[in-house]
Amino acid sequence: MAGALVKINAGVATVYSSGDLSSLAGVSALSAIVVTKNADTPAGDNVVVDLSTGLAGVSAISSITVQNGATAKVGGGLLDAGVATSLTVNGGILDLQGSVIGAKVLNTVTVGPAGGEIKVEPTGLSLGVLSLPVSFVDTNGNTTTTIPKNFVMDFPSSSSIPASYNPLTNTTTIGDGVSLLGILGIGRAITLSGDPFDLTNTGTHNWLAGTYGKNFTQSDGNGGVITCFLSDSMIRTPEGDVAVQDIQVGDSVVAYVDGQQQVRKVVWAGKAHVTVKAGLPDDEAGYPVRILKGALAEGVPYKDMLVTPEHCLLFNGLFTPVRMLVNGASIFYDHSITSYDYYHIETEQHSVIVADGVMTESYLDTGNRGSFRQEGTVVSLNAGSHKTVRTWAEDAAAPLVVDQSVVEPIFRKIEARAKHAGIEAVTPAPVLTNDADVHLVTENGAIIRKAREQNGKVFFLVPPGVERVWLASRTSRPADTIGPFVDDRRQLGVLVSNMSLQEGVGAARNLENTMQDADLQGWHGVDAGHTMRWTAGRAEIPLSGRKPGALAMLSVRIVAAGPYVLEDVQTEQKIASV
């Protein structure tokens, strides 16, 4: 590697191009190194500087700072400097090589208000631990417990990284060198002040150790795990991109109308809080959807984007809910986030705006404004000037489309892009079965298994006196078994075309009223032809008018069933990925 471009002034070496620091070997009385991008940086140079090689002869380095999007690779070569060195990240990337372990030259890593990234490479050793304390400072250089919103920690070559919060020491330890109980072992570990990941609310409490722990599994896109804080969506304005929570009523945003830029005023800004309801399907539970950097196109989004499942993105002039594009790899439900705030802004007209480099939508009040709150005394500029509730059909900036024929090609294109990039799946594919496990349940809870099955009909022997049963089966949503690009989130059991009840000799009694009674529990709506009807997994079947003491044979014609998600297997996979 060639030597980097360096300027030295008053004992401070400013490194502003990619390369190593071989040119500094032998320089004495060098107190600090600053790795940065500046006006002198060659065009197109990302400034990746290798500090892993020796700095022989440099005897007084006390600090290294990486900032302005530059990268500093730090390794055991700092041993040659002969002094303890503190590292500061302030908008740059600090890449700690495995050879740092055992060097004992790092007092701490300080993160400035501009945030940045700390990447901790594998140690490559079977013994020892790289235990690194991290502290944070504000714009005045004072220590703070406020974590910059764009601070990220990356652990390459990992599929799961544990974190543990200890209330007694008020510290969080994260890395593969720590157990969920907070016990240090072999590997990498970073220690943070406080509980920045909100593990007391989102983690599992270990009563014996008194700690709270959880595993992070969010992929960094390169076979590692990245941990970060809920990123703020950056909204494009005439003055540049602004964090959504900083936009107020009266501010301007850039909107796109027929492909042309327009400046529109914000007339309302709201904030809502979500606490995930575990046990429901991901899209209904409230997990946010994470769109990885570059998932949609090169540099789109330009950073990881977090949105709610129903939020719409614009493709080919049409809005599509992001839940219909979840592929489990480059777009996935982030199960590590179980409690969060989200924001929305409204313009006078529903608008196509840009967030994190992605064409998306402003707020459209379809009746849920009451779930948001406004901060302070801010009020809507146009309160009362437009109708209370708007509709997608009449008021949307672009048509909303959920048809599989339109959405699936978009989904497949994004999926193929993720596979080409080698992005590993974060969410496992569902395990499916075609076994509907059809049976009857009586009013007292007794289960009646099928007596036989023939030509699409299932037969059940119903004991005397039973005048009401429920047709039970497995259920699944087409959106889960076929793909999220299918906008059918009903829990479907089996599709029934007709039923009849045979008691003794004579003709069987047709139960056609059941196929048309909209008030019966456990059935979905009657189809247009009144000939078929889906169950919802436990469908009520009245058998009134039974002959006293007679055994009956209930016949159910099932014309469609499955596939179904094996819930127990799916739950085990989900737990393993958290």
- The encoded tokens of residue 11 equal 């004992």
CA gap 218, 576 in Å, rounded? 13
Tokens 């959920």 label which residue?
402
Instruction: Answer whether the bond into residue 301 is a cis peptide, omega within 30°.
Output: yes
pLDDT of residue 56: 53
pLDDT of residue 399: 92
Q: How many CB atoms lie within 10 A of CB 430?
A: 17
83-126, pLDDT tens digit by residue?
A: 446 788 988 888 877 655 444 445 678 888 888 888 877 754 33
What residues pair up with 271 in beta bridges, in sequence order? Answer: 343, 373
Q: How many CB atoms lie within 10 A of CB 533?
A: 22
Half-sphere exposure in the Cβ direction for 275 (13 Å, CA): 3
Where residue 238 falls among pLDDT bands split at 50, 70, 90?
Answer: very high
- The torsion angles phi and psi of 214, rounded to 5 degrees, stand at -160, 165
Q: Which CATH superfamily is domain 229-379+386-421 in?
A: Hedgehog/Intein (Hint) domain (2.170.16.10)
**Torsion angle of C-alpha atoms 547, 553, 554, 556, degrees rounded to 10:** -150
Q: How many CB atoms lie within 10 A of CB 504?
A: 9
332-377, pLDDT tens digit by residue?
A: 998 877 778 788 889 988 999 999 999 999 888 765 554 444 443 2
Q: 556 by DSSP, 3-state: which?
A: strand
CA gap 33, 288 in Å, rounded? 40
Half-sphere exposure in the Cβ direction for 185 (13 Å, CA): 11
Confidence (pTM)? 0.60
Of the chain, the percentage scoring pLDDT greater than 70 comes to 79
